[in-house]
Each structure stands twice: as C-alpha cells, then as structure tokens.
C-alpha cells in the first residue's frame, strides 16, 4: 500500500506539541518531524498543518495560561508562529529538507483568485520537494480562531490538493462509542465508512487546555474531507509515530471513509463549498433534466427568469421548475445580459449579448445540490 506515491496531509494539534507547562516541546516536535521525514524519504508528498503558535507564544508574553481574549490569542500567535516555524525548519533541515510557511484564513478559500493562488503555490512547493507547513493566520483572523484548532483547515487543504490521505493526530486513540474518560466500557471504533448523526453525537466539544478543538471538531473535519474524496485517519501518535504503519492500515486510531473514494475537482470544490452566491436564475424542466441527469451545460434557451444582480464569473443559485434550488454554478453572463437573452438558442444569445460563450453555466462549473449536501453545506 505504501509503495505507491501518495500525497498526505498531516494535522498536528497544540496538545501534541506542548510540554506540561504549556510551552512548545521541541522533543515532541522532533518526534513528528522524524516520522514525516521518513514517509517523505519513501517518496510520498507531505503537507503539514500544524497548530501550536498560540501555545508556543503565550508564555513569552507573560500569560500564565492560554489567553481567553481574541487580542491575547492573536498576540500570542504573532510571537509563537516565528518560534514554531523556526523549530520546524531546524528539525527538517537535519534531514536535508526545506520547509515553507503558509498562513491561511477563510478568505483565502472564499475568494476565487486567492483560492487559485493558494492551490498554485502549494502545488509548486510540492513539485520542488518542499514541505509546506500550514497554519491559520491567527494574527488577522476574526471570529476567534475560525478553523477550529486547524481541524477544518486540514480537511479543506486536503481537498484543495486532492490528497490521498488526511491524518489527524490527537490525544485520543480514535473515535469511541462513548467517552472513554468517563466510561470504562467504551469501545474504540476501528473503521467508519460514513459519518452519520449517531457518529456525530458520540463526540464532545471539549479539547485540551492548550488546544481549541475536541473530537467533535475532528469528526466534522473528517466529514468534510470524506465528502471531498479524501479518506481520514484520526488517532493518537506514539512517542515516535510511524506514519507508514498508518498508511498500511495499522494505525492506533480510527479509519474513516471508503477504500476507493472519488476526489472532487478543485474548481468544483470552490463553487460548492467556498463561494458566495450572487442572485439566482430559474430554469425549465428540460434544462433541469439536462444538467441534473444528462451531464450537459445550461443554455440560455432553458432559462425562464433572473433574480438579483451578478457579473460574469460570479456564482449563482439555480432554481428548478418546482421552485426549489437544485444547485449552483459559475455564470458566464451578467444579470442584464441573461435577462435580455433568456429563452433564446445559444448562438442567438451569444450574438445579442456579445458574450464569448454560449453556455450560461458550463457543466464543469456546475454543482448539483445533492452533491453539496453530501458534506457540509457551506454558502449554499
């Protein structure tokens, strides 16, 4: 299983990188780096999503414990991020490996250009053999640390790069059917094909003193990764975590997902889960059947109405003949152009609107609602 080259995203939380005093543990960090270097030396591509900036920095600012205020967290992250990336760079450097710091926010996913730039940059770094080390840009983030201790960030990065695996390390050896800290009869679930409401109900919100995410955060991240076609492992790392064992199915934790997942194209990921919608268009029964069942593009002839304002390149909701939203897509016409050519054949619409495309929404820029609802319903 490990002989084939794989692209692997590994997420390490704050609790896995700190010592008993809450500061950055260089010993623990070096354990993880050895494990990551080992799989990279086997030819696999490695992307590290690492928490720990706040935990690494708050002691330097005189806080006795992790700060509770947003400004305190952001200040601690500003101090700690430099310490964290320096430690990683030195540890990977012992193996002759170069690292790159990449700081992301939600906006980097919701904005189409920034999303594309993030993909291009990360892809180029991997091509050059660099180990990208990704963290949320806590210093400028709003609404607290919005990715949930980087769990959701790791899932989105894994989807963005169409990775073969997402490994989430935590302080618990997988998902249990009850809280093992309170119930001695709790049993670990070795494999989960699909995350159901019952599975979600098993998780708690509580995390460690130096982290922000509990098992619930990890399960929601796994749910998103699975929807994006990336299988997941959630588990505990040993003193020297053997990632090759995890890839071989012998990890100390829970495996989630099917054996042969279907990855979602990066472009469709952005449309389905990150883009904001601008207005909506209504289509007739024939057009709905063409895009939902026949895999065809949406043409002007099938459009019956236009609501709201939008420009070419923006994403709109598509409403079927029954009045329900059936999906969304990136549109090639403005609302003014489309309103003037709705119901016309494609070649006439193209001439009248002076557009360079006949399709209102190309099939490669379209996502059906049932596909979106398989995972987390973001910005639908």
The domain spans of the chain are 7-263, 268-372
The 10s digit of each residue's pLDDT in 186-238 is: 889 999 998 888 888 877 655 444 444 478 889 989 998 998 889 999 998 76
Quote the CA–CA distance of 4 and 338 in Å, as a whole number: 48
Q: What is the mean pLDDT of residues 138-167?
A: 79
Q: Which of 69-83, 123-137, 172-186, 203-217 has the lowest mean pLDDT?
A: 203-217
Would you say residue 378 has pLDDT above 50? Answer: no
Q: What is the pLDDT of residue 65?
A: 80
Q: Which of 98-102, 181-185, 289-293 has the lowest mean pLDDT?
A: 181-185
pTM, two decimals, is 0.82
More confident residue, 180 or 48: 48
Per the CB < 8 A criterion, the answer to whether 366 and 298 are in contact is: yes
Least Cα distance to 14 among 69, 70, 72, 54 occurs for 54
Structural domain 268-372, CATH architecture:
Roll (2.30)
Q: What is the pLDDT of residue 357?
A: 87
Summary mean pLDDT of the chain: 86
Confidence of residue 303 (pLDDT cuts 50, 70, 90): very high
Q: What is the pLDDT of residue 144?
A: 45
Q: Which of 190-204, 236-250, 277-291 has the lowest mean pLDDT?
A: 236-250
Q: What percentage of residues in the chain have a pLDDT greater than 70?
A: 88
More confident residue, 242 or 343: 343
Would you say residue 302 has pLDDT above 70? Answer: yes
Question: Phi/psi class of residue 103: alpha, beta or left (left: φ > 0; alpha: ψ in -120 to 50)?
Answer: beta
Q: Which of 34-38, 160-164, 242-246 has the lowest mean pLDDT?
A: 242-246
Domain 7-263: top CATH class: alpha beta
Q: What is the pLDDT of residue 1?
A: 46
More confident residue, 347 or 261: 347
Q: What is the pLDDT of residue 208?
A: 46
Confidence of residue 114 (pLDDT cuts 50, 70, 90): very high
Would you say residue 143 has pLDDT above 60? Answer: no
Q: What is the pLDDT of residue 205?
A: 57
The 10s digit of each residue's pLDDT in 347-370 is: 888 888 888 888 999 999 999 987
Confidence of residue 22 (pLDDT cuts 50, 70, 90): confident
């Amino acid at each position: 299983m490990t002989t084939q080259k794989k692209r692997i995203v590994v997420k390490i939380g704050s609790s896995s990188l700190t010592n008993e005093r809450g500061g950055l543990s260089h010993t623990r960090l070096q354990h993880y780096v050895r494990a990551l270097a080992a799989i990279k030396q086997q030819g696999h591509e490695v992307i590290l999503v690492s928490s720990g900036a706040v935990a690494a920095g708050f002691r330097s600012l005189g806080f006795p414990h992790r700060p509770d205020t947003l400004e305190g967290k952001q200040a601690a992250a500003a101090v700690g991020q430099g310490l964290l990336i320096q430690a990683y760079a030195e540890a990977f450097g012992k193996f002759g490996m170069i690292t790159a710091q990449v700081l992301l926010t939600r906006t980097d996913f919701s904005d189409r250009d920034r999303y594309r730039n993030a993909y291009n940059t990360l892809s180029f770094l991997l091509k050059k053999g660099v180990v990208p080390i990704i963290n949320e840009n806590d210093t400028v983030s709003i609404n607290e640390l919005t990715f949930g201790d980087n769990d959701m960030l790791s899932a989105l990065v894994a989807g963005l790069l169409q990775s073969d695996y997402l490994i989430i390390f935590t302080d618990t050896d997988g998902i249990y059917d009850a809280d093992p800290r309170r119930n001695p009869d709790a049993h670990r679930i070795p494999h989960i094909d699909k995350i159901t409401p019952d599975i979600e109900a098993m998780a708690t919100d509580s995390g460690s003193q130096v982290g922000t995410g509990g098992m619930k955060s990890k399960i929601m991240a796994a749910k998103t990764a699975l929807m994006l076609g990336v299988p997941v492992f959630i588990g505990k790392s040993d003193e020297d975590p053997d990632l090759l064992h995890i890839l071989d199915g012998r990890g100390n934790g829970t495996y989630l997902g099917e054996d042969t997942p279907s990855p979602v194209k990066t472009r469709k990921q952005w449309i389905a889960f990150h883009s904001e919608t601008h207005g909506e268009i209504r289509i007739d029964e024939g057009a709905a059947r063409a895009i939902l069942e026949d895999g065809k593009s949406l043409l002007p002839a099938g459009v019956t109405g236009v609501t709201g304002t939008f420009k070419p390149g923006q994403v709109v909701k598509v409403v079927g003949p029954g009045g329900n939203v059936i999906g969304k897509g990136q549109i090639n016409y403005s609302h003014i152009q489309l309103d003037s050519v709705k119901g016309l054949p494609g070649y006439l619409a193209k001439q009248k609107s002076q557009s360079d495309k006949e399709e209102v929404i190309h099939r490669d820029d379209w996502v059906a609602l049932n596909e979106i609802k398989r995972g987390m319903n973001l910005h639908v």
